[in-house]
Amino acid sequence: MHNQLANKFKAKQAVIGIVGLGYVGLPLAIRYSSIGFKVIGLDIDEDKVRKINSGESYIEHICASKITSSIEQGLEATTDFTKASDCDALILCVPTPLNKYREPDLSYVTNTTDALLPYLRKGQVLSLESTTYPGTTEEELLPRIESTGLIVGENVYLVYSPEREDPGNPDFETNTIPKVCGGHTAHCLAVGIALYSPAIDKIVPVSSTKVAEMTKLLENIHRAVNIGLVNEMKIVADKMGIDIFEVIDAAATKPFGFTPYYPGPGLGGHCIPIDPFYLTWKAREYGISTRFIELSGEVNQAMPAYVIEKLTAGLNDSEKSLKGSNVLILGIAYKKNVDDMRESPSVEIMELLVEKGVKIAYSDPHVAVFPKMREHSFDLSSEPLTQENLARFDAVVLATDHSAFDYELIRQHAKLIVDTRGKYRQAEQHIIKA
């Protein structure tokens, strides 16, 4: 049976089901549609489904024309999970956040799998792409699937293939990023390779779903630890009167043994601030303390408070108090040139400032209105960056260095600038490097 299913993917006669149409799922759905597959997108968000079927985009870096083209090629978005039975592949692209105790929240994965169970059938493959701890696929998905009477590896197939999207990166597209894939059995892996090979230029097969799960964590923990290191060095360098950005640029001229990482106001995005804690949590089951990972997490989580310390000091030098001041946050997306707000350190800075009695506003060319988020809420819209508007704030905090900002206008007319991104290298009295 696995050969028959694999051949359907090779011949592009299979129906691809994408479950979760966000930053990962929507590009994947567009990719499969563009190469001739029939694609069904499943999502519980009626507004997303409506927009897709109308040819609208709700993700800035995905243009509406790509969605329209996919619709013309047969992409169908729906909230009707009975459509899952029409699919030969079900690719799960749902969130895996942390709960309030900084522990893994797999409810999106398990609830979505449970919703699909009545519609699973022989001859399907289920692929999980959500980042999670090693063992999730075997411990959570496998028993659920086999509770239906299906036998994984014989008449239904289970793989884990972590997403590697980088929103806003112009150098990579869905098909050009190599795809790691691990199967529960050898037949599962063969089907997984056949599933992804038509859509992705390079498949990287690994020996198990656990290896694939750990691979994704290593990728993101590597970044989190190195960013924690450079954030800590920034604090030390600042005390010594050294520009850490100049140091990094100089170190980066070494042609071997060094990779530049840059400091900032904290970690953002759905992966890097969260994924290390998935491994930390799972490691406790084996009696292991992941001290190195946890230390970097502590450093990165402390950065928003560090930024506020620098802001407070700057206002004090101007004989102003933090409480009651008017502060403009420049950039609230988690990284430059995107509209992605997930785990943005800018939002934490805003919340800390409000707690301290600060009147806040923000300006972000990519986020016109502060979006509805799971844990955060501000009734704010983006402020225009004009000479008059800048002058009415006691300070501006450069949190996300979007290319669209007029940095010279900001430099000339802001009373106080707290620069967390190293955009202002020239020392000036009203610019604080944070």
Catalytic positions: 271
List the structure tokens of 387: 């000479």
Instruction: Please report, to the nearest 10 degrees, the dihedral formed by the alpha carbons of residues 279, 352, 400, 31 taken in order.
Output: 50
Q: Residue length, the chain?
A: 434
Task: Say if CB 27 and CB 51 are below 8 A apart.
Answer: no
Residue of 42, 96, 342 whose CA lies nearest to 213? 96
Residue of 397, 387, 385 whose CA lies nearest to 421? 397
Characterise 12 by phi-psi region: left (phi > 0), alpha (psi -120 to 50), beta (else). left
Residue of 357, 366, 355 whose CA lies nearest to 403? 366
- Of the chain, the end-to-end C-alpha distance in Å amounts to 59
- DSSP-derived letter for residue 89 is E
Task: Say if CB 410 and CB 390 are below 8 A apart.
Answer: yes
Residue tagged 């707290």 (tokens): 418
List the structure tokens of 256: 């071997």
CA distances from 136 to 154, 279, 282, 423 (A): 20, 11, 10, 42
Residue tagged 């028959």 (tokens): 4
Strand order in the sheet with 395-398: 359-363, 326-330, 395-398, 417-419, 431-433
Note the helical H segments in 83-208.
107-116, 136, 142-146, 186-196
C-alpha to C-alpha distance for 121 and 108, rounded to whole angstroms: 22
C-alpha to C-alpha distance for 36 and 198, rounded to whole angstroms: 10
Q: Collect all residues with Cβ–Cβ distance below 8 Å to 218 and sequence separation of at least 6.
A: none
Residue tagged 């206008």 (tokens): 409
Residue of 287, 301, 157 whose CA lies nearest to 231? 301
